[in-house]
Every structure is written in structure tokens, then in C-alpha cells.
Amino acid sequence: MSDNNLVYESNLTKCQSAIEEATENGLEALALYIRDQAVRNITSTHLVDTGNLRSSVNYRVDAPNKKASVGTNVEYAIYTEFGTGIYAENGLGRKTPWFYTDSKGVTHMTRGMKPRRWLRDAFERNHEQMKKVYMTAYNNKLK
């Protein structure tokens, strides 16, 4: 029998912690990237009047559940994303025209607004870049 005193030291906890931190770092970078793309889309689809929608887009990371959310609390955002009236997606909009008065006091008749897809396109059109953003942030945290 050998007198070698081998000691086993587990680094499992440190590894798990490093992976969790890297995952959170990746989710944070990914959510920020999607948020930035959504803001660019709002600008490029000419949805900017007061800047309220654009400045309200935010993100939240739920690291324990490995989730990130991007969105806004602006009430009219859903109408810009999915459209209104005869242009609403899935045919769920109002079929008859209506009138509204703008911020300058001018009354207009409308049949609705076409969907602008500023948020969904930020996610759906950027999958390859999103993978790179996530993996870069993830790997940088593990270095």
C-alpha cells in the first residue's frame, strides 16, 4: 500500500457558478441586442412622433429561469406591432372606418394602420447574429 496522500478537491460548485454567471451574461447581452434592434426598427418604420414608444422599449433578465424578455409598457405598442382596423393581423380588426383627432386638433378618418412588426422582426430576422452575441458574451465571462 502506498503512503501517497492524494486529496480529492471538487471544483464542481465553482464550475456551476461560472456557467450560471456566463449564462446570465449571455442573456443580458442578447436582450440588450434585441432591444437595440427593436429601437432601430421603430425608427426605420417611421413610428416616431413623440419618441415615447422608442424610449420605452426595455428588457428584463430572469437568470434563475434562463429567460430574457424585451418589450414595452406603452399601451398603443400592440397596435403598432399587429396593426388595426382592416389591416390588423388575423382579420381581427374593426371593419368600418372611424375618426380620430390628432395632437394638433385635426380630425382624420381612418380604416386602420398596417402592422409594423418592429419587435417581432428584431427577434425573427437576427437569429445568426443573436447566436454570436450570446456566445461572445458567454465565452467572455468564462475566460
Q: Could you tell me if 43 and 49 are in contact, meaning their C-beta atoms sit under 8 angstroms apart?
A: no
Confidence tier at 103 by pLDDT (50, 70, 90)? confident
pTM: 0.85
The answer, yes or no, to whether residue 2 has pLDDT greater than 80, is no
Beta strand 107-110 with 98-101 is: antiparallel
SS3 content of the chain, % helix, strand, coil (to 5): 55, 15, 35
How confident is the model at residue 4, as a pLDDT?
77
* Interhelix angle 127-142/12-44, nearest 10 degrees: 150
- Nearest CA to 68 out of 137, 140, 141 is that of 137
Mean pLDDT of 38-56: 92
d(CA 26, CA 142): 11
